[in-house]
Amino acid sequence: MKILLAADGSACTRRAVNYVCKHLRMLGPDLEIHLLHDQPPLPGRATAAVSPSALRDYYSEESGKVLAPTVRAFNRLRVRHNAVRRIGDAGRAICEYAKKGEFELVVMGSHGNGALFNLVLGSVVSKVLANCEVQALIVR
């Protein structure tokens, strides 16, 4: 089974990862997981003030912090996985990546970085549920 697990570093993501880890046998022996972390882009003024390499380093470092606990958990259980880092709108990125990668299931936590973040940008889960053509499992 090919699964896309959306990771944002929140407690909800940890619960989604724990759910997958507890149900490995049910998910099958040929399990392949892609961890997707999508960061919102920095505002244009901020990106204009730093070099492109510093910006790449920033995005890489921030994604590394988010993905590291999940990567460690899957390494410990010897689950085949691939960590993917992108920049842009998370809801759109999850839907696009799931469709292009021909995933069988998208797994994500019920909400991410807090009420204010969701108020400003909209709920990523809502965007995925409304627009994604792949089955989704939302873990609370």
CA 92 – CA 6 distance, rounded (Å):
12
pTM of the model: 0.88
Q: What is the pLDDT of residue 44?
A: 85
Q: Residue 132 maps to which CATH number?
A: 3.40.50.620
CA 97 – CA 103 distance, rounded (Å):
9
Q: What is the pLDDT of residue 6?
A: 97
**For residue 133, what are the contacts with CB-CB under 8 A and spacing of at least 6?**
95, 98, 99
Any bridge partners for residue 3, and if so which? 33, 105
Domain count, the chain: 1
- Is the Cα torsion angle 101, 103, 109, 111 positive or negative in sign? positive
Q: What is the pLDDT of residue 121?
A: 44
Task: Note down the domain range covering 77.
Answer: 2-139
**Phi-psi domain of 7 (left: phi exceeds 0; alpha: psi -120 through 50; beta: other):** beta
pLDDT tens by residue, the chain, 140 residues: 999 999 999 999 999 999 999 999 999 989 999 999 999 899 988 888 899 999 999 999 999 999 999 999 999 999 999 999 999 999 999 999 999 999 999 999 987 555 555 554 448 898 999 999 999 999 98
Q: What is the pLDDT of residue 120?
A: 47
| Buried b or exposed e, range 52-79, using 16+ CB within 10 angstroms | eeebeeebeeebeebbeebbebbeeeeb
